[in-house]
Structure 1
Amino acid sequence: MTTDIARPAGALSPRGRDKHRLVIPSLCGAILVAGLVTMATGTLLAPQNPFTQDPLLSVTLPGHAHLLGTDQLGRDVLSQLIAGTRPALLGPLAVAVGCVLIGCGAGMVAAYRGGVIDAVVTRCADLILALPALLIAVVVVGVVGGGYWFTVGVLLVLSLPYEIRLTRSAALVVVRMPYIEAARTLGHGSTRILIRHVLPNIMPTVVATFLLDFVIALIGFVSLSFLHLGVPPNQPSWGGMLADGQQLIGQNPWLSIAPAVLLILTAASATLLGDAVYERISRRGTQQ
Protein backbone atom coordinates (compact mmCIF):
# COMPACT_ATOMS: atom_id res chain seq x y z
CA MET A 1 0.00 0.00 0.00
CA THR A 2 1.33 3.43 -0.97
CA THR A 3 0.96 6.51 1.14
CA ASP A 4 0.67 9.96 -0.46
CA ILE A 5 2.80 12.53 1.29
CA ALA A 6 0.81 15.60 2.15
CA ARG A 7 1.72 18.58 -0.01
CA PRO A 8 1.07 22.19 1.02
CA ALA A 9 -1.86 23.84 -0.69
CA GLY A 10 -0.84 25.44 -3.98
CA ALA A 11 2.45 23.54 -4.15
CA LEU A 12 3.35 21.91 -7.44
CA SER A 13 4.46 18.34 -7.87
CA PRO A 14 7.97 17.76 -9.29
CA ARG A 15 6.42 17.03 -12.70
CA GLY A 16 4.30 20.18 -12.41
CA ARG A 17 7.35 22.26 -11.52
CA ASP A 18 9.20 20.88 -14.54
CA LYS A 19 6.31 21.77 -16.83
CA HIS A 20 5.98 25.23 -15.25
CA ARG A 21 9.72 25.80 -15.73
CA LEU A 22 9.44 24.99 -19.44
CA VAL A 23 6.46 27.25 -20.10
CA ILE A 24 8.24 30.62 -20.10
CA PRO A 25 11.24 29.63 -22.30
CA SER A 26 9.07 27.77 -24.80
CA LEU A 27 6.52 30.58 -24.92
CA CYS A 28 9.18 33.27 -25.40
CA GLY A 29 10.94 31.24 -28.06
CA ALA A 30 7.69 30.48 -29.88
CA ILE A 31 6.63 34.16 -29.86
CA LEU A 32 10.01 35.32 -31.18
CA VAL A 33 10.06 32.64 -33.87
CA ALA A 34 6.50 33.50 -34.92
CA GLY A 35 7.44 37.17 -35.19
CA LEU A 36 10.50 36.40 -37.30
CA VAL A 37 8.55 34.06 -39.59
CA THR A 38 5.92 36.77 -40.02
CA MET A 39 8.61 39.25 -40.99
CA ALA A 40 10.16 36.76 -43.40
CA THR A 41 6.90 35.89 -45.16
CA GLY A 42 5.07 39.18 -44.89
CA THR A 43 7.07 41.53 -47.11
CA LEU A 44 3.97 43.72 -47.22
CA LEU A 45 4.82 44.70 -43.64
CA ALA A 46 7.58 46.91 -45.00
CA PRO A 47 6.34 50.51 -44.78
CA GLN A 48 8.21 51.48 -47.96
CA ASN A 49 9.97 49.88 -50.88
CA PRO A 50 13.38 48.78 -49.54
CA PHE A 51 14.98 49.41 -52.93
CA THR A 52 13.75 52.99 -53.36
CA GLN A 53 16.66 55.42 -53.15
CA ASP A 54 16.63 59.12 -52.31
CA PRO A 55 20.20 60.45 -52.60
CA LEU A 56 19.02 63.94 -51.68
CA LEU A 57 17.72 62.61 -48.35
CA SER A 58 20.86 60.59 -47.60
CA VAL A 59 21.38 59.50 -43.97
CA THR A 60 18.70 60.56 -41.50
CA LEU A 61 17.83 59.65 -37.93
CA PRO A 62 14.53 57.94 -37.02
CA GLY A 63 11.51 60.11 -37.63
CA HIS A 64 7.83 60.01 -38.51
CA ALA A 65 8.43 59.12 -42.18
CA HIS A 66 11.24 56.64 -41.45
CA LEU A 67 10.90 54.87 -38.10
CA LEU A 68 14.52 53.67 -38.11
CA GLY A 69 15.90 56.42 -40.35
CA THR A 70 17.59 56.01 -43.72
CA ASP A 71 20.99 54.89 -45.00
CA GLN A 72 23.54 56.65 -47.20
CA LEU A 73 21.37 56.12 -50.29
CA GLY A 74 18.21 57.37 -48.61
CA ARG A 75 16.65 53.90 -48.31
CA ASP A 76 14.31 53.15 -45.43
CA VAL A 77 16.18 51.10 -42.79
CA LEU A 78 13.07 49.38 -41.39
CA SER A 79 12.00 48.24 -44.85
CA GLN A 80 15.48 46.87 -45.54
CA LEU A 81 15.45 45.08 -42.20
CA ILE A 82 12.15 43.34 -43.00
CA ALA A 83 13.23 42.52 -46.55
CA GLY A 84 16.51 41.06 -45.26
CA THR A 85 14.76 38.68 -42.86
CA ARG A 86 13.82 36.12 -45.51
CA PRO A 87 17.35 35.53 -46.88
CA ALA A 88 18.71 35.62 -43.31
CA LEU A 89 16.42 32.78 -42.17
CA LEU A 90 15.79 30.74 -45.33
CA GLY A 91 19.42 29.78 -45.95
CA PRO A 92 20.23 28.70 -42.37
CA LEU A 93 16.95 26.77 -42.23
CA ALA A 94 17.87 24.93 -45.44
CA VAL A 95 21.31 24.15 -44.00
CA ALA A 96 19.79 22.82 -40.76
CA VAL A 97 17.26 20.65 -42.60
CA GLY A 98 19.96 19.29 -44.90
CA CYS A 99 22.20 18.52 -41.93
CA VAL A 100 19.43 16.58 -40.20
CA LEU A 101 18.45 14.60 -43.31
CA ILE A 102 21.98 13.77 -44.45
CA GLY A 103 24.03 13.96 -41.26
CA CYS A 104 21.51 12.16 -39.08
CA GLY A 105 21.17 9.36 -41.62
CA ALA A 106 24.93 9.02 -42.06
CA GLY A 107 25.54 9.05 -38.31
CA MET A 108 22.93 6.36 -37.62
CA VAL A 109 24.17 4.12 -40.44
CA ALA A 110 27.78 4.50 -39.25
CA ALA A 111 26.82 3.57 -35.69
CA TYR A 112 24.62 0.66 -36.77
CA ARG A 113 26.89 -0.85 -39.41
CA GLY A 114 30.26 -0.18 -37.80
CA GLY A 115 33.39 -1.54 -39.45
CA VAL A 116 34.57 0.03 -42.70
CA ILE A 117 31.45 2.17 -43.15
CA ASP A 118 31.85 3.67 -39.69
CA ALA A 119 35.55 4.30 -40.27
CA VAL A 120 35.02 6.02 -43.62
CA VAL A 121 32.18 8.23 -42.38
CA THR A 122 33.97 9.30 -39.20
CA ARG A 123 37.28 9.97 -40.96
CA CYS A 124 35.59 12.15 -43.58
CA ALA A 125 33.81 14.04 -40.81
CA ASP A 126 37.07 14.47 -38.87
CA LEU A 127 38.81 15.75 -41.99
CA ILE A 128 36.23 18.49 -42.52
CA LEU A 129 36.17 19.30 -38.79
CA ALA A 130 39.91 19.93 -38.91
CA LEU A 131 39.36 22.78 -41.37
CA PRO A 132 38.49 26.35 -40.27
CA ALA A 133 34.89 26.31 -41.52
CA LEU A 134 34.20 30.04 -41.80
CA LEU A 135 37.55 30.75 -43.45
CA ILE A 136 36.98 27.96 -45.97
CA ALA A 137 33.50 29.33 -46.70
CA VAL A 138 34.89 32.83 -47.28
CA VAL A 139 37.60 31.52 -49.61
CA VAL A 140 35.35 29.18 -51.60
CA VAL A 141 32.44 31.60 -51.98
CA GLY A 142 34.78 34.52 -52.67
CA VAL A 143 36.84 32.70 -55.30
CA VAL A 144 34.03 30.84 -57.05
CA GLY A 145 31.67 33.80 -56.76
CA GLY A 146 28.66 31.57 -56.27
CA GLY A 147 25.25 32.91 -55.44
CA TYR A 148 22.94 32.44 -52.50
CA TRP A 149 22.19 28.73 -52.91
CA PHE A 150 25.82 27.93 -53.64
CA THR A 151 26.60 29.48 -50.26
CA VAL A 152 23.90 27.26 -48.73
CA GLY A 153 25.62 24.21 -50.20
CA VAL A 154 29.06 25.26 -48.91
CA LEU A 155 27.77 25.86 -45.38
CA LEU A 156 25.85 22.57 -45.51
CA VAL A 157 28.98 20.58 -46.34
CA LEU A 158 30.96 22.35 -43.61
CA SER A 159 28.19 21.81 -41.02
CA LEU A 160 27.56 18.11 -41.71
CA PRO A 161 30.42 16.73 -39.56
CA TYR A 162 28.92 18.15 -36.35
CA GLU A 163 25.59 16.45 -37.06
CA ILE A 164 27.27 13.18 -38.04
CA ARG A 165 29.45 13.02 -34.93
CA LEU A 166 26.70 13.91 -32.46
CA THR A 167 24.16 11.57 -34.07
CA ARG A 168 26.65 8.73 -34.23
CA SER A 169 27.54 9.16 -30.55
CA ALA A 170 23.88 9.05 -29.53
CA ALA A 171 23.08 6.15 -31.85
CA LEU A 172 26.02 4.05 -30.57
CA VAL A 173 24.32 3.86 -27.18
CA VAL A 174 21.01 2.77 -28.70
CA VAL A 175 22.31 0.13 -31.13
CA ARG A 176 23.88 -1.77 -28.23
CA MET A 177 20.55 -2.14 -26.43
CA PRO A 178 19.01 -5.65 -26.15
CA TYR A 179 15.86 -4.69 -28.05
CA ILE A 180 17.94 -3.84 -31.13
CA GLU A 181 19.45 -7.31 -31.07
CA ALA A 182 15.97 -8.75 -30.57
CA ALA A 183 14.73 -6.85 -33.63
CA ARG A 184 17.59 -8.28 -35.67
CA THR A 185 16.77 -11.77 -34.44
CA LEU A 186 13.16 -11.33 -35.52
CA GLY A 187 14.39 -10.54 -39.02
CA HIS A 188 13.62 -6.84 -39.12
CA GLY A 189 15.50 -4.98 -41.84
CA SER A 190 18.15 -2.37 -41.13
CA THR A 191 16.00 0.49 -42.42
CA ARG A 192 13.08 -0.50 -40.21
CA ILE A 193 15.30 -0.81 -37.15
CA LEU A 194 16.90 2.58 -37.73
CA ILE A 195 13.60 4.39 -38.32
CA ARG A 196 11.39 2.65 -35.75
CA HIS A 197 13.83 1.89 -32.95
CA VAL A 198 16.98 4.02 -33.22
CA LEU A 199 15.64 7.35 -34.48
CA PRO A 200 12.89 7.80 -31.83
CA ASN A 201 15.42 7.21 -29.06
CA ILE A 202 17.87 9.83 -30.33
CA MET A 203 15.19 12.36 -31.26
CA PRO A 204 16.14 14.80 -28.42
CA THR A 205 19.69 14.93 -29.78
CA VAL A 206 18.39 15.40 -33.34
CA VAL A 207 16.17 18.33 -32.28
CA ALA A 208 18.96 19.96 -30.28
CA THR A 209 21.49 19.66 -33.10
CA PHE A 210 18.94 20.88 -35.67
CA LEU A 211 18.51 24.19 -33.87
CA LEU A 212 22.23 24.38 -33.14
CA ASP A 213 22.95 23.92 -36.84
CA PHE A 214 20.45 26.68 -37.60
CA VAL A 215 22.13 29.15 -35.24
CA ILE A 216 25.63 28.31 -36.52
CA ALA A 217 24.49 28.64 -40.15
CA LEU A 218 22.75 31.93 -39.33
CA ILE A 219 25.98 33.35 -37.94
CA GLY A 220 27.84 32.05 -40.98
CA PHE A 221 25.39 33.66 -43.40
CA VAL A 222 25.47 37.01 -41.61
CA SER A 223 29.28 36.88 -41.50
CA LEU A 224 29.48 36.21 -45.23
CA SER A 225 26.92 38.89 -46.08
CA PHE A 226 28.89 41.30 -43.87
CA LEU A 227 31.73 40.71 -46.35
CA HIS A 228 29.20 41.10 -49.20
CA LEU A 229 29.42 37.42 -50.10
CA GLY A 230 26.58 34.99 -50.67
CA VAL A 231 23.72 37.48 -50.77
CA PRO A 232 23.62 39.58 -53.97
CA PRO A 233 24.77 43.20 -53.36
CA ASN A 234 21.44 44.61 -54.54
CA GLN A 235 19.45 42.51 -52.03
CA PRO A 236 19.00 43.72 -48.43
CA SER A 237 20.67 41.54 -45.79
CA TRP A 238 21.40 41.84 -42.10
CA GLY A 239 25.13 41.41 -42.63
CA GLY A 240 25.19 44.01 -45.40
CA MET A 241 23.35 46.46 -43.15
CA LEU A 242 25.88 45.84 -40.38
CA ALA A 243 28.74 46.52 -42.80
CA ASP A 244 27.13 49.73 -44.10
CA GLY A 245 26.17 50.88 -40.62
CA GLN A 246 29.74 50.50 -39.41
CA GLN A 247 30.69 53.58 -41.43
CA LEU A 248 27.56 55.50 -40.42
CA ILE A 249 27.41 54.69 -36.71
CA GLY A 250 27.68 58.37 -35.79
CA GLN A 251 24.97 59.50 -38.23
CA ASN A 252 22.35 56.77 -37.82
CA PRO A 253 23.33 54.04 -35.31
CA TRP A 254 20.07 52.16 -35.97
CA LEU A 255 21.46 50.96 -39.28
CA SER A 256 23.76 48.69 -37.21
CA ILE A 257 21.74 48.29 -34.02
CA ALA A 258 18.54 47.00 -35.68
CA PRO A 259 20.07 44.00 -37.54
CA ALA A 260 22.33 43.22 -34.57
CA VAL A 261 19.34 43.07 -32.23
CA LEU A 262 17.41 40.87 -34.66
CA LEU A 263 20.39 38.53 -35.00
CA ILE A 264 20.64 38.18 -31.21
CA LEU A 265 16.88 37.67 -30.83
CA THR A 266 16.86 35.02 -33.55
CA ALA A 267 19.70 33.05 -31.98
CA ALA A 268 18.15 33.43 -28.51
CA SER A 269 14.69 32.34 -29.66
CA ALA A 270 16.07 29.26 -31.42
CA THR A 271 18.08 28.36 -28.32
CA LEU A 272 15.14 28.85 -25.94
CA LEU A 273 12.78 26.89 -28.14
CA GLY A 274 15.35 24.16 -28.66
CA ASP A 275 15.99 23.75 -24.92
CA ALA A 276 12.26 23.59 -24.19
CA VAL A 277 11.56 21.03 -26.93
CA TYR A 278 14.60 18.96 -25.92
CA GLU A 279 13.49 18.83 -22.29
CA ARG A 280 9.91 17.98 -23.23
CA ILE A 281 10.90 15.15 -25.60
CA SER A 282 13.44 13.79 -23.11
CA ARG A 283 10.93 13.72 -20.28
CA ARG A 284 8.29 12.12 -22.49
CA GLY A 285 10.70 9.37 -23.45
CA THR A 286 11.69 8.82 -19.81
CA GLN A 287 8.05 8.51 -18.68
CA GLN A 288 7.15 5.94 -21.35
Structure 2
Amino acid sequence: MDGGNLIDGAGRADRAGGTGGIGDTRRALGAFLRARRERVAPEQVGLPGGRRRRVRGLRREELAQLAGISVDYYVRLEQGRATQPSPEVLGALAGALGLDAAERRHLDTLAAGRHGPAPRARVSPLLRRILDSMAHLPAFVTNHRTDVVAWNEPGAELIGGLGGPGRSERNQARYLFLEPASSRAVFPDWEDRAVEAVGQLRVATGRWPEDRELAALLAELSARSCEFRRIWATGEVVMCTAGRKRLRHPTAGLLTLDYETLHVPAAPGETGLVLHVFGAHEDGRDAGGPAGT
Protein backbone atom coordinates (compact mmCIF):
# COMPACT_ATOMS: atom_id res chain seq x y z
CA MET A 1 0.00 0.00 0.00
CA ASP A 2 1.48 3.34 -0.99
CA GLY A 3 1.77 6.31 1.34
CA GLY A 4 -0.95 8.23 -0.48
CA ASN A 5 -3.73 5.79 0.35
CA LEU A 6 -6.25 6.70 3.01
CA ILE A 7 -8.01 4.36 5.38
CA ASP A 8 -11.77 4.70 5.07
CA GLY A 9 -14.51 3.68 7.44
CA ALA A 10 -14.53 0.23 5.87
CA GLY A 11 -10.92 -0.42 6.74
CA ARG A 12 -9.78 -0.24 3.10
CA ALA A 13 -7.67 2.23 1.15
CA ASP A 14 -9.32 5.08 -0.71
CA ARG A 15 -7.24 6.40 -3.59
CA ALA A 16 -9.56 9.31 -4.29
CA GLY A 17 -8.11 11.51 -1.57
CA GLY A 18 -10.02 13.66 0.89
CA THR A 19 -11.41 12.01 3.99
CA GLY A 20 -12.06 8.69 2.28
CA GLY A 21 -15.25 6.75 2.98
CA ILE A 22 -15.18 7.06 6.72
CA GLY A 23 -18.74 8.35 6.78
CA ASP A 24 -20.02 5.47 4.64
CA THR A 25 -21.39 3.13 7.29
CA ARG A 26 -22.57 0.65 4.66
CA ARG A 27 -18.99 -0.01 3.57
CA ALA A 28 -17.86 -0.10 7.19
CA LEU A 29 -20.43 -2.76 8.05
CA GLY A 30 -19.42 -4.94 5.09
CA ALA A 31 -15.71 -4.60 5.81
CA PHE A 32 -16.22 -5.51 9.47
CA LEU A 33 -18.22 -8.61 8.55
CA ARG A 34 -15.56 -9.62 6.03
CA ALA A 35 -12.72 -9.17 8.52
CA ARG A 36 -14.55 -11.22 11.16
CA ARG A 37 -15.45 -13.91 8.60
CA GLU A 38 -11.80 -14.27 7.60
CA ARG A 39 -10.87 -14.74 11.25
CA VAL A 40 -13.01 -17.87 11.78
CA ALA A 41 -11.27 -21.14 10.93
CA PRO A 42 -13.60 -23.68 9.28
CA GLU A 43 -12.65 -26.28 11.89
CA GLN A 44 -14.02 -23.99 14.63
CA VAL A 45 -17.55 -24.40 13.28
CA GLY A 46 -17.35 -28.04 12.23
CA LEU A 47 -16.44 -27.51 8.56
CA PRO A 48 -13.55 -29.20 6.76
CA GLY A 49 -10.39 -27.14 6.43
CA GLY A 50 -7.16 -28.13 4.78
CA ARG A 51 -4.53 -26.57 2.57
CA ARG A 52 -6.64 -26.68 -0.59
CA ARG A 53 -8.95 -23.91 0.58
CA ARG A 54 -8.30 -20.75 -1.43
CA VAL A 55 -9.84 -18.33 1.05
CA ARG A 56 -8.85 -17.36 4.55
CA GLY A 57 -11.47 -18.22 7.14
CA LEU A 58 -15.05 -18.94 6.12
CA ARG A 59 -16.48 -18.59 2.64
CA ARG A 60 -19.43 -16.26 2.23
CA GLU A 61 -21.80 -19.12 1.51
CA GLU A 62 -20.60 -20.99 4.60
CA LEU A 63 -21.25 -18.04 6.88
CA ALA A 64 -24.65 -17.44 5.28
CA GLN A 65 -25.60 -21.06 5.91
CA LEU A 66 -24.43 -20.93 9.51
CA ALA A 67 -26.44 -17.73 10.09
CA GLY A 68 -29.53 -19.08 8.32
CA ILE A 69 -29.72 -16.33 5.70
CA SER A 70 -29.49 -16.41 1.93
CA VAL A 71 -26.09 -16.17 0.28
CA ASP A 72 -27.32 -13.36 -1.96
CA TYR A 73 -28.44 -11.28 1.01
CA TYR A 74 -25.16 -11.82 2.84
CA VAL A 75 -23.18 -10.84 -0.26
CA ARG A 76 -25.23 -7.65 -0.51
CA LEU A 77 -24.45 -6.90 3.15
CA GLU A 78 -20.71 -7.24 2.57
CA GLN A 79 -20.89 -5.11 -0.55
CA GLY A 80 -22.91 -2.37 1.13
CA ARG A 81 -25.95 -2.93 -1.08
CA ALA A 82 -28.19 -4.06 1.79
CA THR A 83 -28.77 -1.65 4.67
CA GLN A 84 -30.17 -1.87 8.17
CA PRO A 85 -30.36 -5.64 8.68
CA SER A 86 -32.86 -6.79 11.26
CA PRO A 87 -31.87 -7.53 14.88
CA GLU A 88 -32.52 -11.21 14.14
CA VAL A 89 -30.05 -11.20 11.23
CA LEU A 90 -27.46 -9.34 13.29
CA GLY A 91 -27.86 -11.81 16.14
CA ALA A 92 -27.49 -14.77 13.80
CA LEU A 93 -24.36 -13.32 12.21
CA ALA A 94 -22.87 -12.45 15.59
CA GLY A 95 -23.44 -16.02 16.79
CA ALA A 96 -22.01 -17.59 13.66
CA LEU A 97 -18.93 -15.35 13.82
CA GLY A 98 -18.42 -15.84 17.56
CA LEU A 99 -18.40 -12.11 18.27
CA ASP A 100 -17.63 -10.98 21.80
CA ALA A 101 -19.69 -8.32 23.58
CA ALA A 102 -17.61 -5.38 22.30
CA GLU A 103 -17.71 -6.66 18.72
CA ARG A 104 -21.46 -7.22 18.89
CA ARG A 105 -22.06 -3.67 20.11
CA HIS A 106 -19.89 -2.38 17.27
CA LEU A 107 -21.84 -4.47 14.76
CA ASP A 108 -25.11 -3.00 16.04
CA THR A 109 -23.68 0.53 15.84
CA LEU A 110 -22.57 0.07 12.23
CA ALA A 111 -25.91 -1.42 11.25
CA ALA A 112 -27.79 1.52 12.79
CA GLY A 113 -26.05 3.88 10.35
CA ARG A 114 -25.53 6.82 12.69
CA HIS A 115 -24.92 10.24 11.17
CA GLY A 116 -23.99 13.69 12.34
CA PRO A 117 -20.76 15.36 13.49
CA ALA A 118 -19.14 14.31 16.73
CA PRO A 119 -20.05 16.45 19.73
CA ARG A 120 -17.25 18.38 21.36
CA ALA A 121 -15.48 17.04 24.43
CA ARG A 122 -15.11 19.33 27.43
CA VAL A 123 -13.03 18.75 30.56
CA SER A 124 -15.07 20.25 33.38
CA PRO A 125 -13.44 22.10 36.29
CA LEU A 126 -14.65 19.36 38.62
CA LEU A 127 -12.96 16.65 36.54
CA ARG A 128 -9.71 18.62 36.68
CA ARG A 129 -10.01 18.88 40.47
CA ILE A 130 -10.60 15.13 40.67
CA LEU A 131 -7.40 14.53 38.69
CA ASP A 132 -5.39 16.85 40.90
CA SER A 133 -6.76 15.25 44.05
CA MET A 134 -5.33 11.86 43.05
CA ALA A 135 -1.76 12.94 43.78
CA HIS A 136 -0.53 9.38 44.35
CA LEU A 137 -2.37 7.72 41.46
CA PRO A 138 -1.26 8.30 37.86
CA ALA A 139 -4.31 9.33 35.84
CA PHE A 140 -5.22 10.92 32.53
CA VAL A 141 -8.33 11.55 30.43
CA THR A 142 -8.88 10.71 26.74
CA ASN A 143 -11.57 11.46 24.20
CA HIS A 144 -12.92 9.17 21.46
CA ARG A 145 -10.00 10.07 19.16
CA THR A 146 -7.46 8.91 21.81
CA ASP A 147 -6.41 12.52 22.46
CA VAL A 148 -5.13 12.94 26.01
CA VAL A 149 -7.09 16.02 27.05
CA ALA A 150 -6.24 16.21 30.77
CA TRP A 151 -3.85 14.57 33.23
CA ASN A 152 -2.25 14.85 36.65
CA GLU A 153 1.49 15.03 37.20
CA PRO A 154 2.02 11.29 37.94
CA GLY A 155 -0.03 10.41 34.87
CA ALA A 156 1.95 12.71 32.60
CA GLU A 157 5.21 11.23 33.83
CA LEU A 158 4.00 7.66 33.52
CA ILE A 159 3.05 7.80 29.84
CA GLY A 160 6.19 9.28 28.38
CA GLY A 161 6.61 12.70 29.96
CA LEU A 162 3.35 14.01 28.56
CA GLY A 163 3.60 17.39 30.26
CA GLY A 164 7.28 17.98 29.49
CA PRO A 165 8.67 20.28 26.78
CA GLY A 166 10.09 17.33 24.83
CA ARG A 167 6.70 15.67 24.29
CA SER A 168 4.47 17.56 21.88
CA GLU A 169 2.25 14.66 20.74
CA ARG A 170 -0.77 14.17 22.97
CA ASN A 171 -2.71 11.75 20.82
CA GLN A 172 -2.10 8.22 22.01
CA ALA A 173 -2.48 6.62 18.59
CA ARG A 174 -0.09 9.08 16.93
CA TYR A 175 2.38 8.55 19.77
CA LEU A 176 2.26 4.78 19.40
CA PHE A 177 2.56 4.62 15.63
CA LEU A 178 4.47 7.75 14.67
CA GLU A 179 6.94 7.88 17.58
CA PRO A 180 7.75 4.17 17.80
CA ALA A 181 11.18 4.51 19.45
CA SER A 182 9.75 6.46 22.39
CA SER A 183 6.45 4.61 22.67
CA ARG A 184 8.05 1.15 22.52
CA ALA A 185 10.35 2.19 25.36
CA VAL A 186 7.38 3.30 27.49
CA PHE A 187 5.16 0.32 26.58
CA PRO A 188 7.09 -3.00 26.58
CA ASP A 189 3.93 -4.75 25.37
CA TRP A 190 3.68 -2.33 22.45
CA GLU A 191 1.68 -4.66 20.21
CA ASP A 192 -1.08 -5.01 22.80
CA ARG A 193 -1.24 -1.25 23.31
CA ALA A 194 -1.31 -0.65 19.55
CA VAL A 195 -4.16 -3.12 19.06
CA GLU A 196 -6.09 -1.38 21.86
CA ALA A 197 -5.66 2.03 20.24
CA VAL A 198 -6.74 0.82 16.80
CA GLY A 199 -9.68 -1.07 18.26
CA GLN A 200 -10.86 2.04 20.11
CA LEU A 201 -10.55 4.16 16.97
CA ARG A 202 -12.62 1.62 15.06
CA VAL A 203 -15.37 1.89 17.67
CA ALA A 204 -15.21 5.68 17.35
CA THR A 205 -15.64 5.54 13.56
CA GLY A 206 -18.85 3.56 14.03
CA ARG A 207 -20.24 6.03 16.56
CA TRP A 208 -19.11 9.23 14.82
CA PRO A 209 -18.80 8.41 11.09
CA GLU A 210 -18.78 12.07 10.03
CA ASP A 211 -16.14 13.28 12.47
CA ARG A 212 -13.67 15.01 10.14
CA GLU A 213 -10.91 15.24 12.75
CA LEU A 214 -11.16 11.49 13.31
CA ALA A 215 -11.12 10.89 9.55
CA ALA A 216 -7.99 13.03 9.22
CA LEU A 217 -6.30 11.11 12.03
CA LEU A 218 -7.01 7.75 10.39
CA ALA A 219 -5.80 9.05 7.03
CA GLU A 220 -2.56 10.30 8.56
CA LEU A 221 -1.87 7.07 10.43
CA SER A 222 -2.66 4.99 7.35
CA ALA A 223 -0.35 7.07 5.15
CA ARG A 224 2.57 7.09 7.58
CA SER A 225 2.47 3.77 9.44
CA CYS A 226 2.53 0.28 7.95
CA GLU A 227 1.98 -1.09 11.47
CA PHE A 228 -1.26 0.87 11.74
CA ARG A 229 -2.44 -0.44 8.36
CA ARG A 230 -1.58 -4.00 9.39
CA ILE A 231 -3.56 -3.85 12.64
CA TRP A 232 -6.48 -1.91 11.15
CA ALA A 233 -6.90 -4.59 8.48
CA THR A 234 -7.61 -7.20 11.19
CA GLY A 235 -10.89 -5.50 12.09
CA GLU A 236 -10.17 -5.55 15.82
CA VAL A 237 -12.66 -3.86 18.16
CA VAL A 238 -11.68 -2.83 21.70
CA MET A 239 -13.65 -1.17 24.48
CA CYS A 240 -11.88 0.56 27.38
CA THR A 241 -12.10 -1.72 30.42
CA ALA A 242 -9.80 -2.67 33.30
CA GLY A 243 -6.81 -4.93 33.77
CA ARG A 244 -3.06 -4.81 34.11
CA LYS A 245 -0.37 -3.14 32.02
CA ARG A 246 3.40 -2.90 31.95
CA LEU A 247 4.93 0.54 31.58
CA ARG A 248 8.49 1.79 31.86
CA HIS A 249 8.72 4.74 34.26
CA PRO A 250 11.56 7.22 33.62
CA THR A 251 12.94 6.87 37.16
CA ALA A 252 11.28 3.79 38.72
CA GLY A 253 11.93 1.53 35.73
CA LEU A 254 9.63 -1.25 34.58
CA LEU A 255 6.29 -1.27 36.42
CA THR A 256 3.32 -3.61 36.25
CA LEU A 257 0.22 -1.68 37.27
CA ASP A 258 -3.46 -2.37 37.65
CA TYR A 259 -5.71 0.09 35.83
CA GLU A 260 -9.36 1.09 35.66
CA THR A 261 -11.14 3.07 32.96
CA LEU A 262 -13.98 5.21 34.24
CA HIS A 263 -16.43 6.62 31.71
CA VAL A 264 -17.39 10.23 32.34
CA PRO A 265 -21.00 10.85 31.22
CA ALA A 266 -21.52 13.39 28.46
CA ALA A 267 -23.43 16.62 28.93
CA PRO A 268 -25.99 17.49 26.21
CA GLY A 269 -24.18 18.27 22.96
CA GLU A 270 -20.91 16.76 24.18
CA THR A 271 -19.20 13.41 23.95
CA GLY A 272 -18.20 11.47 27.03
CA LEU A 273 -14.60 11.14 28.16
CA VAL A 274 -12.65 8.25 29.67
CA LEU A 275 -10.63 8.59 32.87
CA HIS A 276 -7.71 6.13 33.07
CA VAL A 277 -6.38 5.48 36.60
CA PHE A 278 -3.34 3.35 37.47
CA GLY A 279 -2.28 1.81 40.78
CA ALA A 280 0.11 -0.72 42.25
CA HIS A 281 -0.84 -4.39 42.73
CA GLU A 282 -3.03 -5.12 45.71
CA ASP A 283 -1.34 -8.51 46.10
CA GLY A 284 2.03 -6.84 46.65
CA ARG A 285 3.89 -8.71 43.91
CA ASP A 286 7.03 -7.26 42.35
CA ALA A 287 6.23 -4.36 40.02
CA GLY A 288 8.32 -6.01 37.35
CA GLY A 289 6.13 -9.14 37.28
CA PRO A 290 4.13 -10.38 34.32
CA ALA A 291 1.47 -8.18 32.84
CA GLY A 292 -2.07 -9.10 32.01
CA THR A 293 -3.83 -8.18 28.81
TM-score range, shorter chain: under 0.3
**Which one has the bigger strand percentage?**
2
**Bigger Rg, which one:** 1
| Structure with more contact order per residue of length (Cα contacts < 8 Å, sep ≥ 6) | 1
TM-score (ref. length: structure 1): 0.20
